[in-house]
A and B are shown apart, each in its own frame.
Chain A
């Protein structure tokens, strides 16, 4: 009996028939072929349907015809063709809100605070050709259901079909924050690259774009009232994000169920501000850079200076106005104290005020965070602000853990909500070798490369008590771009970043052998949609689920 049960389980696990990513919380599938009718329609029940939901339904319909994805089996679905003639056809998918729910745009639902977003949905696709349905409490839930529906279909010989009808799904995310971070300061990415990335994110139900928009290398963001920063600090006038670009990106994201958390990293990582305001930055481009920063160029805000503090508070206020999200990251990583020890104006200001550097940092942090809170934002910080520095933070300040997954426990013990972003699991840049010059033996500081299997095996609540586990908002993959640009954005990010998307939607503990055929399927579908997701294995393996496992 036991052997048989195992065999059935394996058959299910390896079945390429349903290749949903992330895997729904509850999924029942049959083994009937169902074809999509040529005149297939998606309709939304009710009045006052928001435009972004209709647009989303339109995109789904488009994918159904343009994906043209052959099933990942030998023959790419040719063996399915004999079932087409007898198969029923599906003519309609109806989206409707649950009783009592009312329409709001996907955008508005997505831009709520993470814990307030309702992403749950039910999807039913009958095998007999009667109408399919998605129901949810919100348009955001309906949108998640559309993403699932779009992954059910394959194409062979001009027939769009599934071989696993009927399908019944009840689904909702394990964690409310499922993100991806992009650094657009080390190297610049045109708006079109960001939009393509947002599309790909939405296909795997990622709901948070963490935009690390500026850093010491360049300041591409045009902020009303502070445009001198981009004028003098962007790599070039063509490498900036205008106010219109920001609005375009934020609305593009919102319509795809994604909230945009911008980060203006302070008080470190700000060398480029010296281009417009040399008086505000200590040790700007000082050498040797290794004494003043973790990477060149050195330069940090003179946060002891009250003028600088007010300037940054005003800058945050202005930036907060152009981003509708409730979240706003103020950074706070890698502060170099030696920079301030040798900075004459900082030392003079400390002497005059009689405060220590840490006390001054506390004042700076409180004032700049208050400016954001006045605009309705919740500040988000990197882990050092809790673990290294002695600053007063509101307990509801979410903390991004990046240095090591080992630090999660300490952040939770400090009572802070947390977002997993650990370099030892989620850094997409690791393993690309050293990039600093004159250092031929240099390796990636966070070597080795983090495979999709590595991040998939992450446990979000490792070593946490039940109470501490409730502080986990979710997590994200991150791309720092010292060695990336538009040339390798897709190949570095996809399909790997989908790994954490499933981890934080479906929950941890997934089986990598069972996940592999599904992530192959996802990568192939991405390519059909114009995203250059890379091959995880030879195609021979992708067409033969399990045949390239270590013990196969």
Chain B
């Protein structure tokens, strides 16, 4: 009895379906079904929001333009006989469950993390009768549309699937499924960010973590603080204006993505000295290795009341530009030697009678109070909990980055966690040292393959009583060695790996995931995102034949 069940399970997993992330409940048949030439998507919702209409239009466009051949030898040409005789699907009907509120995708996506409704049910009969997509929210409908789009292939001018009937009931394992982009080390035009948001939405990511500024450049034009960008951006053409921010936030929202902005403080702020030298200690001091983990050094004079108020006002102004309920204030890699050698900081500490840690506590409480007054929940990097002695609100979200081994310690302090550990999720690792006059290796070598991140266990060493603290996770691109030139090729399809971990849940089999990830990468290319090959095409067309033991 046991053996046939196992075989059945394997047969299911070896299906040709290229869904990514894998739905949590999926039943498929083996009948072909083609899209009717007059196929349409109907919305059974009164006063449907316009961003749902736009999402439907995008889905219809993908169905027509993906033109993805199945990843088998012949690319689906052998399917045409079966497809000719298959039924035709004329309609996909979208509806909300009775009693569901009718809000825009954008509004649903920006609800506080943990309160968003992303579940949906999708049914496609094999006989060509109407397919249905139902959800409790427009955000759930968007997630379902994303799934629907991934079901179809093209050969000989027909758009078809080989596996109807399809019955899916789906919901995410974790609410925070993110991607972080650093736009400070190197600048990325708005169009690159928008293309990335598109790709993120295709794999149901919910959170764009925008590390917009750092010590190298300040490309964000903040109302009331425009001198920071005018003096700190790489060039006047390399800034994000308030209009750019609105465009990005709206583009993301319409795709079910919330934008969590990060203004990293009090470290990683050297560039603020270009406009406000009075606020920055050890600005561009040398040797930089004494004062920072990378050049240029420079940190906010956190013991200065004037600097603290400046930062609080700055963060409040940034908060008003972003509708998300989350905002990151950073807090990583604070260098104490910088303050030891800064006469102004030492004078401030002396005047107030505080230690540096006590001053950091005041700074953090003041700046967090400022963004809380704007309705934001702060997010911080792990050091603020594990290394420093600062008072944080219980609802503060803590991002683990140094090592996956540190997640348990954060959980033990009862803080909510976003996983972003360098040993699993850093996309920049493995490309060699970038500091000049050095032939060393990447500090977080080796390269993190999609297989590596796919094996991540979000609950490792976290007790059952603290399991609820895990909000999810994200893959991250620090851009010392990246720019628009290699954005797609570094990020995709690798960043899709964690999104399946956090949507479908951990424990996935990387062997059965590989053909689906190939499928995703090929579909992304059809849509203009330069996802790289994971293997020779020979392997991509022959499932399982390039495994280590095949």
State the A residues within 8 Å of B (CB): 76, 185-188, 216-218, 235-236, 285, 287-290, 295-297, 431-444, 447-451, 453-454, 457, 481-488, 490-492, 512-513, 516, 527, 532-541, 543, 546-552
Contact = CB atoms under 8 A, between A and B. Distances in A.
Contacts of B439: 451, 453-454, 457, 512
B526 to A, nearest CB: 12
Contacts, number: 238
Nearest to B510: A440
Given A216-B538, A449-B441, 12 more contacts: A289-B545, A289-B550, A437-B550, A438-B548, A443-B447, A483-B533, A487-B532, A491-B486, A535-B480, A537-B435, A540-B295, A547-B295
Given A448-B430, A449-B430, A548-B435, A296 B545 contact: yes
A5 B532 CA distance: 49
20 contacts: A218-B537, A289-B545, A289-B546, A432-B430, A433-B452, A435-B546, A438-B511, A438-B549, A440-B452, A448-B442, A512-B436, A516-B436, A527-B485, A534-B481, A535-B486, A537-B436, A538-B217, A538-B479, A539-B234, A552-B295
B434 A442 contact: no
B486 A436 contact: no
B196 to A, nearest CB: 15
B61 interface: no
Given A289-B550, A440-B454, A534 B483 contact: yes
B498 to A, nearest CB: 14
B186 A539 contact: yes
B536 A481 contact: yes
B289 interface: yes
Nearest to A523: B485
A444 B437 contact: no
B287 interface: yes
Interface magnitude class on chain B: 35 or more
A517 to B, nearest CB: 9
Interface in B524-550: 525, 530-539, 541, 544-550
Nearest to B455: A440
A549 B432 contact: no
Contact of B434 (A236, A436, A482, A537): A537
Residue of B287, B295, B481 most packed against chain A (CB within 10 A): B295
B534 A490 contact: no
B201 interface: no
B394 to A, nearest CB: 36
Given A217-B538, A449-B432, A535 B446 contact: no
A191 B185 CA distance: 34
Contacts of B447: 431-433, 443-444, 447, 449
A436 B533 contact: no
B31 to A, nearest CB: 27
A218 B490 CA distance: 26
A515 to B, nearest CB: 9
B449 interface: yes
Contacts of A534: 481-483, 485-486
B430 A487 contact: no
Interface string B271-306: 000000000000010111100001110000000000
B210 interface: no
B488 interface: yes
Given A448-B445, A540-B296, A438 B510 contact: yes
Contacts of B217: 538-540
A130 B510 CA distance: 67
Given A451-B439, A454-B439, A534-B481, A487 B530 contact: yes
Nearest to B530: A487
A296 B543 CA distance: 12
Given A438-B510, A449-B431, A549-B438, A288 B489 contact: no
A311 B434 CA distance: 50
Contacts of B539: 296, 437
A343 to B, nearest CB: 20
A15 B101 CA distance: 64
B235 interface: yes
Given A290-B548, A487-B532, A534-B482, A552 B430 contact: no
B455 to A, nearest CB: 5
A492 B514 CA distance: 23
B161 interface: no
B187 interface: yes
A298 to B, nearest CB: 11
B209 interface: no
Nearest to B454: A440
B72 to A, nearest CB: 12
Nearest to B518: A437
A185 B536 CA distance: 8
Nearest to A186: B536
Contacts of A457: 439
B187 to A, nearest CB: 7
B150 interface: no
Contacts of B289: 550-551
B436 A437 contact: no
B216 interface: yes
Residue of A188, A285, A290, A433 most packed against chain B (CB within 10 A): A433
Ranked nearest first, the 7 interchain pairs of A and B with the lowest CB-CB distance are A451-B432, A433-B449, A491-B486, A488-B489, A438-B547, A487-B530, A440-B451
Contacts of A290: 548-549
B489 A487 contact: yes
Contact of A535 (B451, B485, B532): B485
Nearest to B489: A488
Residue of A236, A485, A540, A543 most packed against chain B (CB within 10 A): A540
Contact of A288 (B481, B525, B550): B550
B419 interface: no
B544 A437 contact: yes
A133 to B, nearest CB: 36
B436 A548 contact: yes
A444 B49 CA distance: 49
A361 to B, nearest CB: 26
B436 A552 contact: yes
Interface in B460-492: 479-483, 485-486, 488-490
Contact of B485 (A285, A483, A532): A532
Residue of B439, B480, B533, B544 most packed against chain A (CB within 10 A): B533
Contacts of A516: 436-437
A25 to B, nearest CB: 24
Interface string B111-127: 00000000000000000
Given A437-B544, A447-B446, A448-B446, A551 B437 contact: yes
